[in-house]
Structure 1
Amino acid sequence: MDTIWAPEGLGSAGPKYKAVVTMIRNHIATKALQVDDRLPPVRDLAWRLGITPGTVARAYNILTDDGTLRAEVGRGTFVAAPKVVGRPLNLIEIDPVRHNTGGDTDEVNLYSPHLPNGGQAELIRRLLIEVAQDPPSGVMHYPSRRSAQAAREAMADWLQGTPIGPVDEGDIVLSLGGQNGIMLAFQTVLRGRRPTVFVESLCYPGFRRAAEALRADVVSIEMDGHGVLPEALAAAAERHPEAQVLCTSPEVHSPTCRFTPMERRAEILAVARRYDLQILEDDCYRMGRAEGEGYRQLAPERGWYVSSLSKSITPALRIGCVVPPKGMAGALHRTAEHSFFGLATPMIDLTAKLLRHPDLPKIMAASREGVERYVKVAVNTLGGFDLHWRRDVPFVWLNLPQGWRASAFCQAAEKVGVQVRAAEEFAARDANAPHALRMAINAGVSLKSFEAAMERLRHLLEHPPEQINV
């Protein structure tokens, strides 16, 4: 084998490292090098070819990254087995069962949404195989802004039609889901030893948890059916001059399923500008078309936008994004890089493929239609009570009838096999939460089982406890 390494084989044109790459590939193609053959050490081959060790090392790295060679610590560099390209999915299928709906069960958990499968499970499995066979970003490097560019571009395309103002790939920071996106925004914005964050009196609990993790004080702002009360926000800003951020969910408010109309958004924005508050908008629960302009479009200088794939495709991938105000992208990128360097490179590659796949729009539409079927069952069964719902939102909000307290109802529901979340889980610890529930859509169980669970809840609602505890 030593005779194949001759300086004449390099040729004279072009960079030497590319000539070494071509030489090795030619030797593999002509069977001069076989699978598991050991290549000469870097210094030995450099001496034989009359070039620098760095040139040989660069060629070896290129061929190792693309899978032509494999490097084994302490042993050397070897010819790798060829990659299997285009292997049929059914040869390595882990789970042949379709998950369009779950099975029948008497135990129904309505804590968090479980989306119907409109085909995303099969698509993700196929794309994972493609990434494993030929990862564009490789599997031996740290993630970087450059390696994530294709995924950011795909995310920018995915966000088209969302009214948050102009967005290009440089404006987007990829996050590990929406919760991580909120944390990144806080880490970029909050200043001082004890900053204050404003949240709605009922809100997504992740706002409070992220703020508290960063040692910020959290102040709840009174709200009505349209969202935060502007006068309450202004009064709180007067009492807390150290406040820096207002967190809100104007498109789909969790947990109440409400929508903040544009007139109210304008009033809230006027207060935010008066007291120099940043506005962090969480848009993770919306599955359909946005009904109003986002705060980033209304106020490009202070509107932060967070979204994720969790409620529209799947929560399993933990892929989300943050779009900051104009001029803040560099600071947000640095926050992410200093925190966790970036998404794992295989997830970056999967994101780019998934969000640009031509089948994704119809898959998402099928998933929304599945959610609508479950929502329809909930409305048909519980619509006689004070129920708030939307066709394309994977949860409903129920104000309990007289005679029921939220804690007692949750206990009673659990006894009949249904787990629901009380309003107090969305309120501050010292707040007087309403006697209400949030019930998520769970398409992980069959429609039949979901309907049976709704029937059991209706029976409880119609028969409040008669005993008075003293």
Structure 2
Amino acid sequence: MWIPDHLDPDGPRYLAVVKALEDDIANGRAVDGMALAPQRELAYQLGLSVGTVVRAYSVAQQRGLIAGEVGRGTFVKGRAGQAETRFFGDGSAHQDSRKAGTIDLSVNVAPPLRQAERVGNALRAVANATELPQMLRYGVHLGADGQRRALAEWLDRTSAGRYAPSTDRIAICIGAQQAIWAVCSSVLRPGQTILAEAVTFAGIKSVAGLLGANLCGVDMDEHGLIPEALEEACAKTQARALYLMPTLQNPTGTTMPEARRAEIAAIAQHHGLTVIEDDVYGFLAPDAPPPLASLLPDRTCYVSSFSKSVAPGLRAGFAVLPPALTRGVEAAMRASCWMSPLLTMETVCRLMRHDGLDGIVAQRREEARQRLEIAESVLSGLFPKIDWRKARFHLWLATRDWVEAEQVVRRAMEAGVLIAPPDAVATERASPPGIRLCLGSPPDTGDLRSALMTVRAAFEAGDPATQICSTI
């Protein structure tokens, strides 16, 4: 059982516990699978409060150092365990963990692209372009001017003029994940805090862990972040940044009303927060309120990509930056990949210019609507409070507690349906319990319906008094 020999005398006590664990993993004293002392016992052994140890375990879990198992305890993830051989990123699994006949509801992606020929045509046009030799050379760190201009015009057009950033604020990235990392690495230092919704995108958990930052969840309701909870979190944590997804939030699917966005923007301004607004699902909700970035442009980094709307293999994303962050993000880009993805973003730009992108997006919206209708036909009897009107590729099923959520995941997995572990989207154990279903992952709708029937059976096999609800 792991108990540290000593703690560094400097800095917060919970970080000293985390550092001791990191050091012991590095020197081989704490090995993969070793049990950690229960939180109360470790607190007693070290002369710390239980709350301090709880926080230390939470940060260690965010950094991939430990993992909890219901009914067994908490265990060290050694170097092999930290490779995340079972789950990584947004709940997706390594191929060698898949079994024949398994249906995957764990990966939050759009279905296979039916109009792949449009992307193929754009790729061929890039290959035959007279500018190809120049695009094969090193480019500028934040992206070619023509591509940045095309993105600015596309944002203006698709938002009906409600969000029209200038070209010089746009940075082209290798997907939204790199944009999030670049922004966070420029504003956060180890030990500092970033806030996020109480249940959130797994990618921000990974970024916070890699940077040694503390990720603190903020309570939510059916409209997203609760303003009073954000005020309280700012006062308690002295947070530097806020990550949120106001439109079709992952995992809950909530869309923040315009008045709530204005409240959140005012709080962020008052507390000097750098806001990272992730809008990767915004294309599915053209009638959503204007982005938070339009209300707070000098403190908000608006981040999106074409992984959900077109294809993840393109690895084409972007960020709209406040002027004060441009230099820091540029330095992060230079350090990580040197330059923007010229060829793939040129492919996207050609889709924009020749209307291919509009057709693909329209098809994606229709696919999301059809798949949500299938989910409604199977699950609405158990979850009558879900808003079935908002087309999306993920669905949040709230549970009575974390134990029930983990039991449903286990039953579904035993029946051949893969669901991401509940803690994949939780910022901490106090987060609202539930599971996320990814409706776009199965390649066809027949598999989707079959998987959803299995999920329904997994819920019905539990306690008859299960709370059936869907809101935070």
1:268-300 residue CA offsets vs partner (Å, 9 max, x unmatched): 222222211121111112323151122211112
Q: Which residue of structure 2 aligns with residue 128 of structure 1?
A: 123
Q: Which residue of structure 2 aligns with residue 432 of structure 1?
A: 430
CA distance in 1, matches of 2:425, 2:252: 10
CA distance in 2, matches of 1:230, 1:224: 10
Q: Is the 8 A contact 2:171 2:319 kept in 1?
A: yes
Aligned residue among 200, 220, 242 for 1:203: 200
Q: CA deviation at 1:349?
A: 2.6
Q: Is the 8 A contact 1:256 1:388 kept in 2?
A: no
Q: Is the 8 A contact 1:118 1:366 kept in 2?
A: no
User: Does the alignment pair 1:363 with 2:360?
Assistant: yes
Aligned residue among 312, 316, 319 for 1:319: 316
CA distance in 1, matches of 2:363, 2:210: 38
Q: CA deviation at 1:234?
A: 1.9
| Secondary structure of the corresponding residue to residue 364 of structure 1 | helix
Q: Which residue of structure 2 aligns with residue 460 of structure 1?
A: 458
Aligned residue among 149, 154, 157 for 1:153: 149
Q: Is the 8 A contact 1:374 1:441 kept in 2?
A: yes
Aligned residue among 171, 174, 180 for 1:173: 171
> For the structure 1 residues 348 and 463, does the alpha-carbon distance in structure 2 shift closer, same or farther, using more than 3 Å as the test?
closer
CA distance in 2, matches of 1:382, 1:436: 15
CA distance in 2, matches of 1:419, 1:117: 18
CA distance in 1, matches of 2:181, 2:142: 23
Superposed, 1:34-49 pairs within 5 Å as none
> For the structure 1 residues 176 and 164, does the alpha-carbon distance in structure 2 shift closer, same or farther, using more than 3 Å as the test?
farther
Superposed, 1:363-402 pairs within 5 Å as 363-386=360-383, 387-400=386-399
Report the TM-score when normalising by structure 1: 0.70
> For the structure 1 residues 435 and 196, does the alpha-carbon distance in structure 2 shift closer, same or farther, using more than 3 Å as the test?
closer
Q: CA deviation at 1:334?
A: 4.1
Q: Which residue of structure 2 aligns with residue 214 of structure 1?
A: 211
Q: Which residue of structure 2 aligns with residue 5 of structure 1?
A: none
Q: Is the 8 A contact 2:368 2:393 kept in 1?
A: yes
User: Does the alignment pair 1:225 with 2:222?
Assistant: yes
Letter in 1 for 2:129: D
Q: Which residue of structure 2 aligns with residue 300 of structure 1?
A: 297
CA distance in 1, matches of 2:162, 2:422: 30
| Secondary structure of the corresponding residue to residue 398 of structure 1 | strand
Q: Which residue of structure 2 aligns with residue 446 of structure 1?
A: 444
> For the structure 1 residues 424 and 389, does the alpha-carbon distance in structure 2 shift closer, same or farther, using more than 3 Å as the test?
farther
| Secondary structure of the corresponding residue to residue 285 of structure 2 | coil
> For the structure 1 residues 118 and 318, does the alpha-carbon distance in structure 2 shift closer, same or farther, using more than 3 Å as the test?
closer
Letter in 1 for 2:107: S
User: Does the alignment pair 1:252 with 2:248?
Assistant: yes
Aligned residue among 272, 279, 282 for 1:276: 272
1:189-245 residue CA offsets vs partner (Å, 9 max, x unmatched): 33x55322111111112112112222222222222222222222222222223x211
Letter in 2 for 1:185: V
Q: Is the 8 A contact 2:142 2:170 kept in 1?
A: no
> For the structure 1 residues 270 and 140, does the alpha-carbon distance in structure 2 shift closer, same or farther, using more than 3 Å as the test?
closer
CA distance in 1, matches of 2:463, 2:102: 23
**Looking at CA atoms only, which structure, 1 or 2, has the larger radius of gyration?**
1
Q: Which residue of structure 1 aligns with residue 110 of structure 2?
A: 115
| Secondary structure of the corresponding residue to residue 421 of structure 1 | coil
> For the structure 1 residues 248 and 460, does the alpha-carbon distance in structure 2 shift closer, same or farther, using more than 3 Å as the test?
same
Q: Is the 8 A contact 1:336 1:342 kept in 2?
A: yes
CA RMSD of aligned residues (A): 2.6
Letter in 1 for 2:419: V
Q: Which residue of structure 1 aligns with residue 342 of structure 2?
A: 345
Q: Is the 8 A contact 2:247 2:255 kept in 1?
A: yes
Q: CA deviation at 1:145?
A: 5.7
| Secondary structure of the corresponding residue to residue 108 of structure 2 | coil
1:236-255 residue CA offsets vs partner (Å, 9 max, x unmatched): 222223x2111111111111
1:69-109 residue CA offsets vs partner (Å, 9 max, x unmatched): xxxxxxxxxxxxxxxxxxxxxxxxxxxxxxxxxxxx95210
Q: Is the 8 A contact 2:142 2:340 kept in 1?
A: no
Percent identical among aligned pairs is 27
> For the structure 1 residues 236 and 391, does the alpha-carbon distance in structure 2 shift closer, same or farther, using more than 3 Å as the test?
closer
Q: Is the 8 A contact 1:397 1:438 kept in 2?
A: yes
Letter in 2 for 1:265: R
Report the TM-score when normalising by structure 2: 0.70
Name the stretch that deviates more: 356-365 or 333-342: 333-342
CA distance in 1, matches of 2:170, 2:318: 7
CA distance in 1, matches of 2:434, 2:402: 12
| Secondary structure of the corresponding residue to residue 439 of structure 1 | strand
Letter in 2 for 1:132: A
Letter in 1 for 2:362: A
CA distance in 1, matches of 2:331, 2:355: 33
CA distance in 1, matches of 2:162, 2:226: 23
Superposed, 1:405-416 pairs within 5 Å as 405-416=404-415
CA distance in 2, matches of 1:120, 1:261: 33
CA distance in 2, matches of 1:417, 1:259: 32
| Secondary structure of the corresponding residue to residue 127 of structure 1 | helix
Letter in 1 for 2:440: N
Superposed, 1:258-269 pairs within 5 Å as 258-269=254-265
CA distance in 1, matches of 2:459, 2:118: 41
Q: CA deviation at 1:176?
A: 0.9
| Secondary structure of the corresponding residue to residue 272 of structure 2 | coil
Superposed, 1:229-240 pairs within 5 Å as 229-240=226-237
> For the structure 1 residues 357 and 337, does the alpha-carbon distance in structure 2 shift closer, same or farther, using more than 3 Å as the test?
farther
The number of aligned residues is 359
| Secondary structure of the corresponding residue to residue 452 of structure 1 | helix
Q: Is the 8 A contact 1:371 1:391 kept in 2?
A: no
